[in-house]
Chain A
Amino acid sequence: MLSQESASSRFPTTSWTVVLAAGGHAPGSAEALASLCAAYWYPIYAFVRRRGYAREKAEDLTQDFFVRMLEHDTLAKARRERGRFRSFLLASVTNFLTNEWDRVRAQKRGGACVTLSLDFQSGEERYNREPSHSLTPEALFEQQWALAVLEHVLARLRLEHARKGNEAQFDRLKPFLTGDQDTGAYHQSAIDLNTSEAAVRTAVHRLRRHYAELLRQEIAATLADPGEVDGEIHSLLAALGKP
């Protein structure tokens, strides 16, 4: 079924708007939702774990939650939160944990059919590495969400460079994404990549522009109104907290 990698490569063609269109009944809606879920399962898992569930239980709950999301007409219920997939997912999972769990279990006995293959092993390892023990489950979810967004974008950037055989260049230049480094960084990179400093500056400029486009695309895919991208970036910044 869906793995994280394949989901992110399919990502550009889907978006939250598609999912929401026609109350979730538009063509491609279910598929779009599935790929969104597969891409953002880890923040949900971290949230469930942080709510105090043991590993196995948290795995079951995460799985059950997504199955329920995909099988049921959950979208019809999304009202206030539908503007952002992130908010929608958080509201849904809290609701699920408080309320729907027993009903889901009851229905499962009638024969559930969908399973998602989520890499819980890596999820758990990652969860154990989180240093954020002081965060509330909600804050942890939002923080992990922000990181997941960035990871997808960087993975796509890397993939696109790799396709052109430029992975080494990507690795060398990616630190420039956050700023200009020390004086002489361009010079050193030019030596490392065996090219001119001017060429490095151009490449960095392109990389930055492309990165910003991809990030905006990725974020827009989770919003009902793509005009809110800036607002969402600020929300993600806030979720990350102070440096």
Chain B
Amino acid sequence: MSERCPECGGRLASGEAEGLCARCLLLAALRGPDELMSADLPSPGEWIGSCRIVRLLGQGGMGMVYLAEQEEPIARQVALKIIKLGMDTQAVLERFHSEQQALALMDHPNIAQVYEAGASTHGRPYFIMEYVAGLPITDYCDRHRLDTRKRLRLFLQIANAVQHAHQKGIIHRDLKPSNILVTERDGEAVPKIIDFGLAKATQKGLSERTFFTEAGVLIGTPEYMSPEQASLADWIIDTRTDIYSLGVLLYELLVGAVPLDSKTLRSAGYDEIRRIIREDDPPRPTGRLTALGPKVAEIAHCRATDAASLRRQLRGDLEWIVMKALEKECARRYPSASEMAADIQRHLHSEPVTAGPVSPAYRFRKFLSRNRLAVAAALAIVTVLALGFAVSSALYVKAEHQRVLAQRVGYLANLAAAESELENSDLENADRRLDDCERSLRGWEWRLLNSRLYSSRLLLFGRGGEATRYAAFAFSGDGSRIFWSSGENLNVWPDGSRTRSDVYGGFGEILAVSRDAGRIITRPYRNRGTLRIIDPVSRRLLVTLAAPGTDAECAAFSPDATRAASGLRDGTLLIWDTRSGRIAARVQAHDAPVTVVGFSSNGVRVVSGSTNGSLHLWRTEGLRPAANLRGHSGEVTCVSFSPDSQWVVSGSPDGTMLWWDLQRTEPAAAVRLGSREVSCLSFSPDGAHVVCGSADGSVRVLATASGKTITTLPACFLGGVRAVAFTPDGSRFLAGSDFGEVRVWDTATWGGTILKEDAGVIESMAFSADGSRILVLRQEELEIWDGTTGQVVARRPPAVPGGSRATFSRDGSRAAWGSYSDVKIWDGVAVRTLPGHHGLVTTAAFSPDGKLVASGSSEDQTVLIWDEPSGKVIRRLDLQEPVWRVLFSPDGSHLLTACSRQTFKVWSTAKWNVTAVLEMAPALRGDWVGDPAFSPDGRRIACGFAGQDTIGVWDSRSGQLLAGVGEYAHLEQVMGFSPDGTRYLSVSHDDLIRVRDAVSSQTLITLRDEGGVRWAGFTPDGSRILSATAGGTVRVWDTRSHHWAEGFRFDLSLLEPPRPDVRSSSDLARLVRNEPSLDPPVRKAALQVLEAYGEPIVIPTVWNTVKSAGAGEQAYREALDLARRLGAVEPSSGEVLNALGGAQYRTGGFTEAIDTLTRCQETRDCPTEVNTAFLAMAHSRLGHATEARGPLEQIRGMLRGPRQISDPELRRLLAEAESVITGDLQR
């Protein structure tokens, strides 16, 4: 039950402040008692200044707007705006009057005039303005379904109006759709900008906290606020602020959403909102469309087009224009509204625009400005290092280090760009960025991104147009073939191959595919009530399912395909005998259209869902009701039964996923994916996982037991995900998208896997040197886990609470920790007690050779050094301060002791004297946090500090502070170095794990965990990072699938640019085998990728040869040979047929070429220009004058017409065709 506030209309939370609206209560205190009295708000008939009130038009953030009538200076209708908030009326009027002259100079048909300002008898400021009876521009455009071009023309008028105002020296400062009203004059849409000059008059100066004062008002529209407005830097606001707002407006007009996600902005805190506006780069319009998921269809509808065409319209020019206006730095935006308008004009005339993709240099600069602190720290280190070298070479050293530093910063810039491109699903650019990363600097973070980019093992391309909601996968009984039904076509791949062997289509819509794809259920486009069962291979109609009445909405086969189910628009559910085509059972299942139906794995039960959220379970025989599954509030569009038929999982476009234990009728678990539509679901064959595809292109794998997401695969598709499935053996899973791409993942290598769940609160973990065992310290017990599986190998019984963090001996055979006045040593079986301290033992550590144990106490303030085998104390170090951590250097030569406050000492383990005291600086104020760590070479020590959120890095020999790196408002704990010493980890309370550069402390990559990260560490081989959360989840960040990526990347490098020595896969394989630089696992992966992708990988080679006229007889013969082999495995690919036809033509087989090229025209992906050119030339050579003459006109059009081809390669071919044909015709 939620009521609404009568004042602001906001929803009231239950139990909120005595049932009153908290917002209004706070606002009331700001306004003071008199402001709230409605008595002084005018009523109809009342006079204010020269106006008589007619009626209230509306209420905005700033105040109330009335329709009023004026007699003087002329009789007219006006809009009267009375400012509501408690503002200094005098100041408002002064500011207004100072601008009034300029305002009066504005005379533009698209600007509503402000006539005058004054103060009411109650002392409130008011403005009298031209009355505009219109709709906000966005509403107008949507209501009239204006297409993109019409929207651009409207926008041009607005940009010109803004330019006019800017020329008169007036900045609007608050441009947004509600301030741009569209009226119609003589059937023409006329936009008018209102409120010009008001924002400035009603804004207080900076000293009066502009942003704060307006919090109740301006916070209402942070979406349109420019970065400089958000920075509160009032003095830098100029005309370019309006350009930014114009950018937001254009974005919204084109895409139907504002650039910075409103939801994110609204849920963020005040400072966060400002940060987002100033720092977060908005997604490009097409990226935004993708992220909008299911809403896109409606958005496209409002623009009189479909989603795919809208995307095409926006890609390129328009995106660049919008993004240029939205630059954070105002100097990078259009310098004026007229320049922006000019670019839009150019786009409308298809001329090149001035806006373009952002240059790498700019990204680099932007990166620098964002990471100023880190870069400064890196520079400091360079200076420190440079000073240590001989003076004579100082100049050289400095130059050399600057080069190194520049390289490092460039590496970081590329890395950051690659990560953001990955997030934007721009795989091509992400790939380029990763390639650009300096090879010698590549480390863990690079491998992680690389493995994310190629997280899927295979990418298949289904040729069959856009997929529908009926898309599905199927597998042949012997597992040798994979089927992908896009909803219209059935694609077939031999398992493991990228080469599609067949495609079947032309049956109408495919609503269902039997388990082995032997039969399909199709629905004709005309008669949607009658379904057909067809054998797709023979194209034979097996039986017709003629249902009386309404359209069929969905269908499914029973596992053995003897039965089919169909759901109708009127809510009827039918079971069919698939042999006779007779109805076996029917029931009025739902009050609304049936949207989804599915059989249980044993075929005994059927589940059906509907648009109204109802979900019912039935017995297949007789369709007797078995259960009513109540829980969805929105449409149910996908269901999947577990393999044991005990569970059902169902999903809805509202982002809800529900698990049903069929013994009960309430959902056993619910997962809400927010705005991500759940578009398809599938259980794994062992029932342990569910894979879920979303409309935003992401794929998630969830654990059935907990309902938790185990991994989210990056938004790897351009469109939404339409179908997901596991292979029958469970070793891989597949996802297919809107645009027909299919990706295949190995279940073994998916990223960010959960190693263990519900493991209790984990304090810390430690690895044995070979990584085979993990020591886990929990609150009240110790466990030893298997390093790969996470299974518990041994458990220290509870009851003896650990007083300190536990550590492993290097070989993993023993663990040590502190207790009260004892040190405990555990070998996995028995516990030894070493008594000797007086008070709580806070820390214990093994020396690397395992012979010594060091322990420290916070109460007796000493460190004891024990001979571990004998259990005797060999040394007592008196620290005279509570001791919290002891730590041996990796070579065992030194011991670090960390005490309360900031005392860090390094001791020699030979003489037990202090060799260094770590230098402290003002930047390292406050308590240190977490564990200090040695770098693997023992030369550096790192530790985090709470006071200024700083991490210190020291030289362990001199104690000199090398770097103190500040981070914005996050406490970080250092968590240890990577095995190669080039990286270290930190975790912070906001669930971020940072991988930092050990030299400069720059953050290289940030991993986001959830549930309170308490610990993170590298595995001893450096391939993975493990993290543990307060909730007891242990996650693995794995870079091992990086091998696939590297292998694939190498294969590609052999193909681009095409090389003369690469003519087939076997050539490629030879090169891979002979390449000395490849690591063995990468080489293996590269070969496997080649094998999987097969011959089409060399299409470019064939094309490269046949495209030009002078390659030589021998080359053409080889190309023909290759093309024939391709044609055999991919008979329906337009690309392949064109290449084959081209090769036939080049080798003189004109008749065969005509046959091949004609067949090519029947494929969906026939490249028209190439096809036309070769076909016309072949006809011409054979003297078919008529067949050659027609295409000649086409070819001339392609070369010189209004939509001429720009690709130089194609132009060359077309020019060749033109000259060949004209030559032949003349003869």
Does B373 sit within 8 A of A, measured CB to CB? no
Does A13 sit within 8 A of B, measured CB to CB? no
- Closest chain B residue to A141, Cβ basis: B269
A212 proximity list for chain B (CB < 8 A) = 28-29, 32-33
Chain B, range 5-24, C-beta contacts under 8 Å to A:
5-11, 13-18, 20-24
Contact B212 A231 (CB under 8 A): yes
- Closest chain A residue to B674, Cβ basis: A134
Contact with B along A192-236 (1 / 0, CB 8 A): 000000000000010011011001100000000000001101111
Shortest CB–CB separation between residue A129 and chain B, in angstroms?
6
A177 proximity list for chain B (CB < 8 A) = 20, 25, 28
Which segment, of B111-119, B689-697, B922-930, faces chain A? Answer: B922-930
B929 proximity list for chain A (CB < 8 A) = 98-99
Contact A97 B989 (CB under 8 A): yes
Decide yes or no: A110 and B859 within 8 Å by CB, A97-B1012, A175-B20 being known contacts: yes
Contact B930 A179 (CB under 8 A): no
Does A180 sit within 8 A of B, measured CB to CB? yes
Contact B270 A179 (CB under 8 A): no
B507 proximity list for chain A (CB < 8 A) = none
Contact A238 B273 (CB under 8 A): yes
- What is the bound-complex CA distance between A5 and B1030, given in angstroms? 33
- What is the bound-complex CA distance between A97 and B1030, given in angstroms? 10
B21 proximity list for chain A (CB < 8 A) = 178, 243
- What is the bound-complex CA distance between A182 and B219, given in angstroms? 27
B-side binding surface: helix, strand, loop or mixed? loop
- What is the bound-complex CA distance between A136 and B820, given in angstroms? 38
Does A241 sit within 8 A of B, measured CB to CB? yes
- What is the bound-complex CA distance between A215 and B220, given in angstroms? 24
- What is the bound-complex CA distance between A157 and B947, given in angstroms? 40
A115 proximity list for chain B (CB < 8 A) = none
Q: CB within 8 A of A216: which of B8, B16, B29, B33?
A: B29
- What is the bound-complex CA distance between A230 and B927, given in angstroms? 33
Shortest CB–CB separation between residue B106 and chain A, in angstroms?
33
Q: CB within 8 A of B215: which of A134, A142, A234?
A: A234
Contact A51 B26 (CB under 8 A): no
Contact B36 A180 (CB under 8 A): yes
- What is the bound-complex CA distance between A114 and B649, given in angstroms? 50
Chain B, range 1000-1047, C-beta contacts under 8 Å to A:
1010-1012, 1029-1031
Decide yes or no: A52 and B29 within 8 Å by CB, A57-B761, A179-B6, A241-B266 being known contacts: no
Does B971 sit within 8 A of A, measured CB to CB? yes
B1010 proximity list for chain A (CB < 8 A) = 52
A142 proximity list for chain B (CB < 8 A) = 269
Decide yes or no: A238 and B930 within 8 Å by CB, A95-B971, A233-B30, A243-B23 being known contacts: no
B6 proximity list for chain A (CB < 8 A) = 175, 178-179, 181-182
Does B1206 sit within 8 A of A, measured CB to CB? no
- Closest chain A residue to B882, Cβ basis: A103
> Total interface residues on B, using CB and 8 Å?
72
- What is the bound-complex CA distance between A59 and B271, given in angstroms? 29
B1030 proximity list for chain A (CB < 8 A) = 51-53
B268 proximity list for chain A (CB < 8 A) = 139
Which segment, of A14-22, A31-39, A146-154, faces chain B? Answer: A146-154
Q: CB within 8 A of B927: which of A52, A99, A139?
A: A99
B884 proximity list for chain A (CB < 8 A) = 103
Contact with A along B666-701 (1 / 0, CB 8 A): 000000001000000000000000000000000000
A238 proximity list for chain B (CB < 8 A) = 215, 219, 269-270, 273
- What is the bound-complex CA distance between A237 and B803, given in angstroms? 44
Does A71 sit within 8 A of B, measured CB to CB? no
Does B183 sit within 8 A of A, measured CB to CB? no
Contact with B along A109-149 (1 / 0, CB 8 A): 11000000000000000100111001110110010001100
- Closest chain B residue to A93, Cβ basis: B989
- Closest chain A residue to B27, Cβ basis: A237
A139 proximity list for chain B (CB < 8 A) = 267-269
Does B858 sit within 8 A of A, measured CB to CB? yes
- What is the bound-complex CA distance between A239 and B273, given in angstroms? 11
Decide yes or no: A243 and B973 within 8 Å by CB, A135-B267, A238-B219 being known contacts: no
Does B148 sit within 8 A of A, measured CB to CB? no
B26 proximity list for chain A (CB < 8 A) = 146, 150, 215, 233, 236-237, 240
A235 proximity list for chain B (CB < 8 A) = 212, 270
Decide yes or no: A154 and B212 within 8 Å by CB, A98-B989, A99-B927 being known contacts: no
- What is the bound-complex CA distance between A57 and B1014, given in angstroms? 15
Shortest CB–CB separation between residue B951 and chain A, in angstroms?
14
A180 proximity list for chain B (CB < 8 A) = 36-38
Shortest CB–CB separation between residue A88 and chain B, in angstroms?
14
Contact with B along A61-95 (1 / 0, CB 8 A): 00000000000000001010000000000000011
Contact B28 A179 (CB under 8 A): yes
- What is the bound-complex CA distance between A98 and B20, given in angstroms? 36
B909 proximity list for chain A (CB < 8 A) = none
- What is the bound-complex CA distance between A231 and B211, given in angstroms? 10
Shortest CB–CB separation between residue A206 and chain B, in angstroms?
8
Does A174 sit within 8 A of B, measured CB to CB? yes
Contact A211 B1012 (CB under 8 A): no
- Closest chain A residue to B1014, Cβ basis: A98
- What is the bound-complex CA distance between A17 and B429, given in angstroms? 55
Q: CB within 8 A of A243: which of B9, B37, B269?
A: B9
Contact A106 B209 (CB under 8 A): no
Contact B926 A77 (CB under 8 A): yes
Contact B22 A146 (CB under 8 A): yes
- Closest chain B residue to A57, Cβ basis: B761
Shortest CB–CB separation between residue A202 and chain B, in angstroms?
11
- What is the bound-complex CA distance between A209 and B270, given in angstroms? 28
Does A164 sit within 8 A of B, measured CB to CB? no
Shortest CB–CB separation between residue B2 and chain A, in angstroms?
8
- Closest chain B residue to A126, Cβ basis: B15
Does A160 sit within 8 A of B, measured CB to CB? no
- What is the bound-complex CA distance between A212 and B930, given in angstroms? 45
Does A242 sit within 8 A of B, measured CB to CB? yes
- What is the bound-complex CA distance between A79 and B923, given in angstroms? 13
List, sorted by A's number, 16 A–B pairs whose CB atoms are closer than 8 Å.
A52-B1029, A77-B927, A109-B840, A126-B15, A134-B267, A135-B267, A178-B20, A181-B6, A209-B32, A211-B28, A212-B32, A215-B25, A231-B209, A234-B215, A234-B216, A243-B11
Residues of B in contact with A (beta carbons under 8 Å apart): 5-11, 13-18, 20-30, 32-34, 36-38, 209, 212-213, 215-216, 219-220, 266-270, 273, 674, 761, 763, 803-805, 820, 840, 842, 858-859, 884, 925-927, 929-930, 946-947, 971, 973, 988-989, 1010-1012, 1029-1031
Residues of A in contact with B (beta carbons under 8 Å apart): 51-53, 57, 77, 79, 94-95, 97-99, 102-103, 106, 109-110, 126, 129-131, 134-136, 138-139, 142, 146-147, 150-151, 154, 158, 174-183, 205, 208-209, 211-212, 215-216, 230-231, 233-243
Known: A106-B804, A208-B33; 13 extra A-B contacts, CB below 8 A, are A77-B927, A94-B971, A99-B973, A109-B820, A131-B13, A134-B674, A158-B18, A178-B7, A178-B25, A179-B28, A237-B216, A238-B219, A238-B273
